[in-house]
Structure 1
């Protein structure tokens, strides 16, 4: 990280609201990625229980059994970055796009996930 990047990171404000579905999705992915990366306890399972419906957890378990990967991240690895953006809303739902970045530099890969809240 350059000195300029470090200064920008130090001065960047982070905020959120429990009333914002976009913030809640971003909070979930941030802490979930930390929990999976750390891997020392059952926090990722507890987060799934808190944030995800039973039906969705069952569908994730089936996907994971078939694909031998983490269903939330859709991968066996942990992303190096994540970003959540509002996409649309309607019929009582909010839709966000989660972009997971794998690796760094010009060869970094990306996975985009559509999330319904």
Structure 2
């Protein structure tokens, strides 16, 4: 995994653009509480999407989505519940997506979204 801070930010920005172009509105970026962090929280109509973004610069460490294991999924659900409790957001429906982003040498990004990933 590439731990450079710019890698994660670049992946999150590319993912945000992906969703916004599809009519979603950003509710929160890097929302934090004592239990953890949500990368992106987005909404379209009554649907709330919590998206975990995993970014890679190369294939050395596998695809980003592979890093979202059972432990990470449990944590995201817990932090998602905290988000709903601590904000005024009341969605009609909610899903958890995983964005697997690969940053290319030319600076562009390939974004693959796994909707309703868990």
**Above 0.5 in TM-score?**
no
Tell me which protein shows more strand as a share of its residues. Answer: 2
**Which structure would you say has the larger RCO, counting Cα contacts within 8 Å and 6 or more residues apart?**
2
Larger radius of gyration: 1
Give the TM-score, by structure 1 length. 0.28
Give the TM-score, by structure 2 length. 0.28
Tell me which protein shows more helix as a share of its residues. Answer: 1
